[in-house]
Amino acid sequence: MKPLFITPSMVLSLLLFTMEGVFCFAQQGALGMQFQPTFNGKPVTFDSTTFLTASGARITFSMLKFYVSGITIHGMDSPSISTSDHVLVDVTEPHNVDVPSAPWGRGQAVSFTIGVDSIVNEQGPREGALDPRNGMYWTWATGYIFLKLEGTLEAPGVARRVYEIHVGGYKAPYQNTFRVTLPVEGRSWREPLIVDVALDRFFDAEPAFDITKRPSVTDARQASDVIDRLRGMFRVR
Amino acid sequence: MHGKHPTSSTVFEGCSVSGSARELALALIAISVAVIAHNHDNTDTARIPQPPGFPERVYRGGPCASDSAVAALGAMLFEDPILSVDSSTSCQTCHQPFAAFAHIDHALSHGVEGRIGRRNVPALQNLAWQTSFMWDGSIANLDMQSLSPITGHEEMSENLDHLLAKLNAHPTYPLRFRSAFGSDTITIPRVLRALGRFVAGLVSADSRYDRAMQGKDTLAENEQRGLQLFRRHCATCHTEPLFTNNGFASNGLQPNAASPDSGRIRITHDERDLFCFKVPSLRNITRTHPYMHDGRFKRLRDVLAHYSNTAALPDHTDPRVRAIGPLSDMERKDIIAFLMMLE
């Protein structure tokens, strides 16, 4: 029988393996995902800072809320999927959305869904994030509002007024839940993942969205026109 | 309740409970049937009936401590004007129990401060078998439905935080919520589920028609002729035994200045849904006048005259309505005689 030699590299491997295990354990609930609103790279302060869109409107932001679910870390042998229910992210409040734990440096991408699918929409009232009291529900049609973006607009020849982008709709052909996938290769997962919500992408992605002409999006059909703009807002810093 | 004894698989249908609670309850049944039999608050005794010939119930309810207490709480909320912004208007203001929970002699719904709605108040019956709600089918779940009238500007116009504050300050509601849901935390989902459970229990299955179908009553000659005519001309949409196919159709009514309503297309944006409205059940129809989505016909004979006047039907009329063809005075009277059996 061959004698068992323990080489320095084996010790290192064992140590790393143990450390990884320790990190995984330490990561439970400790890391998360935070959404931070920006406009052309500058942080957004709600109800105060004014920004200029490509189509020449001066806008402010008063509300950004959306439902996040199905957070998944990809790139391991099998994806690590969050089991938590829908989270209502109110970007005007401090928040930290739990994400599934992933071994050190192993996640390649994170993905999540914005919106509420047809099953949950037709299930009846739910407590917590999905409580209709949160104001994220259309009573006259199509169920939950997935995302609300509101503020004021002003432009040459256009008096200051409120704009409302409300996105919902779970029935064909206006199924407006959408999935966001972001690259996270090489991240340590030992600190929260900061996701930029680049609001300039909503207004200024080609072709530019003239908010003065469409200050109100409030049903599923209108919302289906702006899904790609919304998806494009989410970026990893 | 019909005669068939509930089996263990259907015990919890009116009130789904968690797995462990269910196991515990099943164990209790096994240990002491007598205790269960005398416990009238058990989910077993309070479940919604499944009348013979009816399809499988759609309504499922949700977790609770006592199904009958949830239904009783829902009944209390239903008749309480506390649900409206100025505590003036209850569900029952428009859904009158003696009118099969419709609003007799009112073409359009009424709300707080004398506001008038867009559509006729429907009867509330056999909702546990209904797959969508409102005249345009915009709401998919019965427990979610009451959110629309409670918050609707033309109806109760209430704010949900304000409603919770009023219910929490009420002398008896916290206790009622405790018996129903196991804790006196009042939440909007619990308010909605109580109301949903109450209206889900409004079952119409014991009319003269039902008894005749079960051989417990007989049809007069004109009723028999009416039944045959009904089956030939009406039952494709108003399908027995619910007297609706849960579908939508354009029944040939022209929108007018008083009722510019475009119907289901408003929520689906599908051209095929232009002027389409829910096919309502015809049960208790003699109590639910006026008729149609906008209440434009006061009498059943006006409705029959409309369907009979094929030449006047506009292009958007559903072919099933167009196929009815002219009906003689006698035929119309016979159909009405049959419809009167649905009370």
Quick check: is A138 in a domain? Answer: yes
Q: Tell me, what's the pLDDT at B122? A: 94
Find out whether A85 and A69 touch, Cβ atoms under 8 Å: yes
Weakest mean pLDDT among A78-92, B4-18, B225-239: B4-18
Q: Which two tokens stand for residue A115?
A: 């919106």
In this predicted structure, what is the pLDDT of residue B40?
39
* pLDDT number for residue A201: 97
Name which of B267, B270, B271, B272 to mutate to probe chain A: the one with the most chain A Cβ atoms within 10 A of its Cβ. B267
CB–CB of A133 and B147 under 8 A? no
How many angstroms separate the Cα of B117 from the Cα of each of A158, A209, B153, B277, B294?
Answer: 34, 35, 9, 16, 10
Partner-chain contact B187 A142, CB within 8 Å = no
Mean pLDDT calculated for residue range B153-182: 96
Q: Is there a contact between B140 and A132 if contact means CB atoms under 8 Å apart?
A: no
Q: How many beta-carbon pairs under 8 angstroms link A with B? A: 61
Q: What percentage of residues in chain B have a pLDDT greater than 70?
A: 87
**Binary contact (A124, B143; C-beta < 8 A):** yes
- How many separate helices (H) and strands (E) can be counted in chain B? 15, 2
Q: Does B235 touch chain A (CB under 8 A)?
A: no
Res A20: pLDDT: 43
Dihedral sign of CA atoms B206, B212, B214, B215 in order: positive
Provide the strand spans (E) within chain A.
Answer: 33-39, 42-43, 51-52, 58-74, 80-81, 87-90, 109-114, 137-138, 143-155, 158-168, 178-183, 193-198, 216-217, 234-236
Assess if residue A46 is contained within a domain.
yes
Residue A9 in any domain: the answer is no
> Per DSSP, what are the bridge partners of residue A153?
A59, A161
Instruction: Determine, yes or no, domain membership for A102.
Output: yes
Whether the predicted pLDDT of B7 surpasses 70: no
* Chain A residue nearest residue B266, CA to CA: A141
Tens digits of residue pLDDT in B63-98: 899 999 999 999 999 999 999 999 999 999 999 999
Q: Is residue A197 part of a domain?
A: yes
Q: Which residues of chain A does B142 touch, with a Cβ-Cβ cutoff of 8 Å?
A: 124
Please answer whether residues A111 and A97 qualify as being in contact, where contact means their C-beta atoms are separated by less than 8 angstroms: no
Host H or E run for residue B192: helix B188-200
Query: Residue A82's pLDDT is what?
Result: 77
Q: Which residue has the tokens 């129903």?
A: B180
Residue A38 lies in a domain: yes
* 8 Å CB contact of B266 and A143: no
**Structural domain harbouring A87:** 31-236
Q: Lowest-confidence range among A20-29, B101-110, B185-194, B232-241?
A: A20-29
Taking CA atoms, what residue in B is nearest to A143?
B139
Residues 6+ away with beta carbon under 8 Å from B178: B65, B184
- Chain A residue numbers touching B164 (CB-CB < 8 A): 133
Is residue A12 domain-resident? no
The mean pLDDT of chain B is: 87
Q: ipTM surpassing 0.90, yes or no? A: no
> Which 3-state string (H, E, C) describes B124-147?
CCCHHHCCCECCCCCECCHHHHCH
Residues 107-166 of A with CB under 8 A from B: 121-127, 131-133, 137, 139-143
Please judge whether B62 and A124 are an interchain contact, meaning their C-beta atoms are less than 8 angstroms apart.
yes
The residue ranges of chain A whose pLDDT is under 70 are 1-31, 101-105, 188-189
Cβ separation of B147 and A139 shorter than 8 Å? yes
Residue for token pair 């409102």: B134
Residue B203 has pLDDT above 90, yes or no: yes
Closest residue, chain B, to A126 (C-alpha): B189
Q: What's the CA gap between B6 and B4, in Å, rounded? A: 6
Residue type, A197: V
CA dist., res. B187 & res. B164, Å (int) = 7
Enumerate domains of chain B plus CATH numbers: 67-200 (1.10.760.10), 208-342 (1.10.760.10)
* pLDDT at residue B255 in the model: 87
Amino acid at A119: I
d(CA B16, CA A123): 13
pLDDT for B18 equals 42
Chain B residues close to A142, C-beta within 8 Å = 138, 267
Q: Report the chain A residue with the minimal C-alpha distance to residue B145.
A: A139
**Is the CB of residue A174 less than 8 Å away from at least one CB of chain B?**
yes
Mutation choice for B interface testing from A118, A134, A137, A139 by most B CBs within 10 A = A139
Q: Nearest Cα to B64, choosing from B45, B31, B42, B79? A: B42
Q: What is the pLDDT of residue A185?
A: 81
Q: Is B151 on the interface with A (CB under 8 A)?
A: yes
Strand A234-236 vs strand B248-249: parallel, antiparallel, or unpaired?
A: unpaired
Asked which of A185-189, B12-16, B128-132 is least confident by mean pLDDT, the reply is B12-16
Handedness of CA A22, A25, A28, A33 (dihedral sign): positive
Q: Write the pLDDT tens digit of every residue in B206-221.
A: 999 999 999 999 999 9
Per residue, the 3-state secondary structure of B167-184, as one string, reads HHHCCCHHHHHHHHHCCC
CB contact under 8 A, B187 and A133: yes
Residue B33 has pLDDT above 50, yes or no: no
Whether the per-residue pLDDT at B16 is higher than 80: the answer is: no
Other Cβ atoms closer than 10 A to B118: 15
Predicted local distance difference test score (pLDDT) of residue B10: 33
Query: Is B188–A126 a contact, with Cβ atoms under 8 angstroms apart?
Result: no
In a domain, A5, yes or no: no
* pLDDT at residue A217, as a whole number: 94
Domain total in chain A: 1
How many Cα neighbours within 13 Å face the side chain of A59?
27
Q: Identify the pLDDT of residue A147.
A: 98
B61 to chain A, minimum CA–CA distance in Å? 8
Q: 3-state class of A232 per DSSP?
A: helix
pLDDT of residue A28: 41
